[in-house]
C-alpha cells in the first residue's frame, strides 16, 4: 500500500502517459496535491481527465517542453507563484531518438531533454524544495545506462562526432545517475533526498510518439509481450515518493523498489562532479 501523501505537493514531468501518469494516479489517490506537465496540451488535458476520474482527486496540468529553456523557466515561475511548497519532484519525462536533432538552445535533444532540461528545472525549484523539507527528488533513470560502457565523452557531450540513438539514450541515463549522486552530495544535511530508479521494461507509448522510428520502434513492438504494465513500471517511482522506509536515504539507485548498484562507471563521483560543472557552463552559455 502507498503511504498517505496528505498535505504533500508533488510535481511530475511528462505524466500525460506511461509510468508518469500512473504515478500521478497513485499519489493523487492517497491525498497528494499533484501537478504534472505535458509537452502536448491536448494529450495533457486528456490525461488530466483520466487521472481525475481514476483517482477521485483533482490534479493540475502545466505545459512544459524540456527542449526549451524559456518553457522550463516559465513552468518554474508559474509553479513558484501558485504553490508555497514542493515536497516531491519527480523528473520523469524522457525520450529516445534514432536521428540526431537539437533543442532550441542547440543541444543534442536526448541529452538536452533527459538530462539538461531536468537539471535546469531542478535548480530553479531547489530553494522551494529545501524550504519544504523533508522533501524528495526522484530521477527516472534506466538500466540503459549500461549502454554507456565508456562513460560520458566530455569532449563531445552533444554527440556531434557520430550519433547513435541507443548510445545517446544510454549516456543520458548515465547522466541522470551522475546528477542524482552529485545533487545528493550537495544537499547533505538539508533533509532533501535525491534518488534515481530503473522502472524496468515498460509497455508504454514511449516508442510510439513519433520520436522513435524503425528500427527502434520494431524492437519495442517485438518486446511488447514481455514488458511490464505502466502500473507495475510506476511502482518504484511511487515507492520513492511516498514510502517511509526511504526516509533519509539519498544518492542511491533503485529497481523494483529495492536499492541496486549501478555500473561501476555510474559510481564515478568525479565524473558526476565534472558533469555538474559542464551542465552549469552549458546553461550559462545558452543564457549569454
Active-site positions read 169
Q: Which residue reads 518554474 in cell numbers?
A: 76
91 φ, ψ to 5°? -85, 90
Q: Is 156 helix (H, G, I), strand (E, B) or coil?
A: coil
Strands 33-38 and 88-91, sheet pairing: unpaired
**111: phi then psi, degrees, rounded to nearest 5:** -65, -45
Residue 205 DSSP code = G
Q: How far apart are CA 181 and CA 183, in angstroms?
A: 6
- Contact between residue 121 and residue 279 where contact means Cβ atoms under 8 Å apart: no
Helix, strand or coil, per DSSP, at residue 7: coil
Evaluate the CA torsion angle 267, 271, 277, 279 in order and state its sign: negative
Amino acid at each position: 500500500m502507498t503511504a498517505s501523501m496528505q498535505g504533500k505537493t508533488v510535481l511530475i514531468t511528462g505524466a500525460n502517459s506511461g509510468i508518469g501518469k500512473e504515478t500521478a494516479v497513485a499519489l493523487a489517490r492517497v491525498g497528494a496535491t499533484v501537478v504534472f506537465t505535458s509537452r502536448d496540451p491536448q494529450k495533457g488535458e486528456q490525461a488530466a481527465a483520466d487521472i481525475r476520474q481514476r483517482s477521485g482527486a483533482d490534479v493540475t496540468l502545466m505545459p512544459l517542453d524540456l527542449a526549451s529553456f524559456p518553457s522550463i523557466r516559465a513552468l518554474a515561475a508559474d509553479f513558484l507563484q501558485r504553490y508555497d511548497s514542493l515536497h516531491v519532484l519527480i523528473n520523469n519525462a524522457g525520450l529516445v531518438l534514432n536521428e540526431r536533432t537539437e533543442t532550441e538552445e542547440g543541444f543534442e535533444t536526448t541529452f538536452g531533454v533527459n538530462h539538461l532540461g531536468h537539471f535546469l528545472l531542478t535548480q530553479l525549484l531547489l530553494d522551494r524544495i529545501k524550504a519544504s523539507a523533508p522533501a524528495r527528488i526522484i530521477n527516472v533513470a534506466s538500466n540503459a545506462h549500461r549502454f554507456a560502457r565508456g562513460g560520458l565523452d566530455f569532449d563531445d557531450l552533444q554527440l556531434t562526432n557520430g550519433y547513435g540513438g541507443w548510445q545517446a539514450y544510454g549516456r543520458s541515463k548515465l547522466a541522470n545517475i551522475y546528477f542524482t549522486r552529485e545533487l545528493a552530495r550537495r544537499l547533505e544535511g538539508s533533509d532533501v533526498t535525491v534518488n534515481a530508479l530503473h522502472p524496468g521494461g515498460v509497455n508504454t507509448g514511449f516508442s510510439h510518439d513519433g520520436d522513435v522510428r524503425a528500427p527502434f520502434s520494431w524492437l519495442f513492438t517485438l518486446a511488447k509481450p514481455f514488458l511490464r504494465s505502466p502500473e507495475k513500471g510506476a511502482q518504484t517511482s511511487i515507492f520513492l515518493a511516498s514510502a517511509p522506509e526511504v526516509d533519509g536515504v539519498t544518492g542511491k539507485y533503485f529497481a523494483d523498489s529495492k536499492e541496486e548498484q549501478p555500473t561501476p562507471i555510474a559510481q564515478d563521483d568525479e565524473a558526476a562532479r565534472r558533469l555538474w560543472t559542464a551542465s552549469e557552463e552549458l546553461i550559462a552559455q545558452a543564457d549569454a
